Structure 1
């Protein structure tokens, strides 16, 4: 069972990045590289007009995603990794890097792509519910919502990756606003792709 039911605060991430500027080895890990390649391969469209990446950290995946977007807003709850992200993306004028904590802060759409990668399990169930609705509301019709999360239990986190994905999948029932396009499961992560239905 998880130790907490509350959303992890910004201070949690600040302390992680104070100890290590790349705490999850995003820039050097073969595992992360393969996961990023699978993430990009799962996107049905070769190009997106206006994308939103939640939890960009130091911007490794952001840089890979940027070539496929006319505009990309990448955010993270902590300001500390964003210095590295801004340096990495300095030659990408279409990318905006911003400190932002969902669901208390959320940008105005519409977006034709929203990427929630390795973030959802930091949220309480209440905040995940609110975030899901904000994402659905911000998606343009036929827009894509891609989720990628580590699935083993982490006792510091309010939720597991499977709980996050199953919660979003509940909005892809026959009367829900989403269509479930793809599910992929690797040994330690899960990827699910949704599309917003036309109204």
Structure 2
């Protein structure tokens, strides 16, 4: 397995402008279409799904749609969110599935109307401060149920992000008051499946 694309630890703030400029400069900043790390991680993500088919998935931080197009094969509908308009345009070009709705929002803000039985959080939680994670948990609590399945995947190497992959994952599980159903620890990332989230 090759190493993931180097993390951008020099960024003082991972705001909307940072990601928009990043995608303006690079077509595929994390090499999601070519990296063996990403390919293997996607395969592991799909293998861990507890159901063969989902009614409606929510993917937060979809980037250029590398995972989105694979989720679309397992879901009746997918709502995919990203902050970057450039990334979303590339995602639309890559993913021609009629069951995918792309929306622009800078997390944790955004209005994701719907009721979801699958939520995918892949490589995004460590960009948030703790207060932002609290707001994200509050947002998600409005659109999920105890039966909703969460798939949470994060790189575990060192970064200068606000949180590490381990800390972000563990904190967010507590915030969502979710039950751990499955855990995998790979050499470069961790993958978990949660259910039973508690709504406020």
2:169 counterpart residue number: 165
Following the alignment from structure 2 to structure 1, what is the Cα–Cα distance between the partners of residues 95 and 65?
Answer: 7
Q: Counterparts of 1:149-160 in structure 2 under 5 Å?
A: 149-155=154-160, 157-160=161-164
Q: Return the offset for 1:124.
A: 0.9
Instruction: Tell me how far apart the structure 2 counterparts of residues 138 and 7 of structure 1 sit (CA, whole Å).
Output: 28
Q: Is the 8 A contact 1:142 1:198 kept in 2?
A: no
SS at match of 1:159: coil
The CA deviation at 1:137 is 2.9
Matched, 1:133 2:138: yes
Deviations 1:16-35 (A, max 9, x none): 11221101100001110000
In the comparison of the two structures, how many residue pairs are matched? 190
The verdict on how the C-alpha distance between 1:143 and 1:118 changes in structure 2, with shifts beyond 3 A counting, is same
Where do 5+ consecutive residues of structure 1 fail to align? none
* TM-score scaled by length of structure 2: 0.88
Q: Which has the higher contact order (CA 8 A, sep 6+)?
A: 1
Whether 1:179 and 2:185 are equivalent positions in the alignment is: no
Q: Is the 8 A contact 2:141 2:198 kept in 1?
A: no
Tell me which residue corresponds to 1:98.
103
* Aligned equivalent of 2:124: 119
SS of equivalent residue, structure 1 residue 17: helix
1:48 to 18, 43, 54: 54
Give 1:100 shift. 1.3
The answer for the alignment partner of 1:194 in structure 2 is 194
Checking the alignment, whether the CA contact within 8 Å between 1:143 and 1:196 is kept in structure 2 is yes
The alpha-carbon distance between structure 1 residues 79 and 133, as it changes in their structure 2 partners (threshold 3 A), is same
**2:79 aligned with 1:84, yes or no?**
no
Query: Matches of 1:31 and 1:73 in 2, distance apart?
Result: 24
| Alignment TM-score, normalising by the size of structure 1 | 0.89
Let me know the Cα RMSD of the aligned residues: 1.9
**For residue 18 of structure 2, what is the aligned residue in structure 1?**
12
